Copies of this chain bind each other. A is one copy, B any other.
Amino acid sequence: MLNSEMRKIMVSESQMLEMLRQSEIRPSIHRLAVLDYVANRQTHPTAEEVYKAILADFPNVSKTTVYNSLHAMAEAHILRELEIESGSTRYDLALQAPHSHFRCTSCGRIFDMNLPSGLDNMVSPGFKVEATDLFFAGLCPRCAKNN
């Protein structure tokens, strides 16, 4: 099981079930574990991180299943894919207030930031915006001190 009661939860199991049901994604135990890991975490994990974390609870889950699950949920707009750094895709829960992301170039952590409204007005007429990403890179307060 997901041991929901053992840590601070932002999205409950019933909420996750509802999300998956609405998107007609069968709530298999692995998918729930993937969603739980991405949703109830401050970080924005990579597929690899999700895989390693889930492996602790489900020793025989395959990497392909993790990729499949992440893709399915991204397509269903339950998750958002963040191409915020070279080499790997990070995942973020989509169902929360729109926000931008700050990546610390020193420690690698990613922080949620505000997002101004009206950004879509920046695109030229005729273009249809489906997604907007605002990324910052720099030093987080902790790393800014230690250098």
Contact = CB atoms under 8 A, between A and B. Distances in A.
Interface residues of A, number: 36
B113 A141 contact: no
A138 B138 CA distance: 27
B100 A127 contact: no
A54 to B, nearest CB: 21
Nearest to A112: B124
A100 B122 contact: yes
A135 B119 CA distance: 10
A4 to B, nearest CB: 29
Nearest to A134: B134
A122 B133 contact: no
Interface of A: 81, 83-86, 89, 100, 102, 105, 111, 113-116, 119-120, 122-124, 126-141, 144
Given A126-B144, A132-B134, A134-B134, 12 more contacts: A83-B135, A102-B123, A113-B122, A113-B124, A115-B122, A120-B136, A122-B134, A129-B138, A131-B136, A131-B138, A132-B136, A133-B134
